[in-house]
Amino acid sequence: MPDTLTPGLCSGPLPRVARRRRAVAGAALALLLAVTACTGSPEQRSGATDRTGDAPVAVSGPLCEALPSGAEPGSPGSLVDRSPDQALAWIPVLTTFEAAVRATGMAAELSAAGGLTILAPTDDAFRAKFSTANLDHLLLKDTETLRGLLKEHLLGGARPVAELVAAGSVTTLAGTTLAVTAAEPGARLADRAETVCADYRVTGARIHVINKVLGSLPDTAHEEENHH
């Protein structure tokens, strides 16, 4: 039996994170999220043992308090032994970014040798950047452009946010140079985005949740407003 179920085949109540992931706008995003809506908690999916005896994983930023913690699915401690794509699926504010990873087939690339740093924009950041129609087009039809956008959010090496600040600038896998400055308790990137929950540790990667979409694609969210 496959380890993902369609919503019609689910048995029992959806976990809390899965219920939140299904409450999304946009046909393409809803379709991509549906195939993993009933996979259970990270522990259920991978058979990981309880990590409550381990030292807590420290994440920092103003959004962290609103995200899973302690023994909850998707908490920093529960994701340490997960692959990057699995971890993204259990941080509830990253449903759009995670759907983009699946739409482009980049899940395996996130587990690159040498590690990666993932600057993952929140769902709100995507909504502020793209109209629903534009985002659906990227997810379903223009995955090459979407792949380029994702590379604007990936850095070589699994680097904590303090290391990024100390470096002063970083180069993305798309070849773009981003200035990095301190923005307590995290970092400001390209004088544009800030980390809002930094330093998730996952297998071979660091995930820093950020509040803006990086890259040079045009803003289209205003087009949706003009149609109302």
Domains and CATH numbers, the chain: 54-226 (2.30.180.10)
Is it the case that residue 27 has pLDDT exceeding 80? Answer: no
Contact present, 187 and 209 (Cβ < 8 Å): no
Is it the case that residue 70 has pLDDT exceeding 70? Answer: yes
Of 207, 3, 213, give the one whose Cα is nearest residue 110: 207
Q: What pTM was estimated for this model as a whole?
A: 0.80
The chain-wide mean pLDDT, for the chain, equals 83
Is it the case that residue 52 has pLDDT exceeding 80? Answer: no
Local confidence band at 227 (pLDDT 50, 70, 90 cut-offs):
low
- In this structure, what token pair is assigned to residue 37? 């809506």
Q: How many CA atoms lie within 13 A of 13 on its CB side?
A: 5
Is it the case that residue 53 has pLDDT exceeding 90? Answer: no
pLDDT digits (tens, 9 = 90+) for 80-99: 999 999 999 999 999 999 99
Compute the chain's Rg from CA coordinates.
17
Is it the case that residue 38 has pLDDT exceeding 80? Answer: no
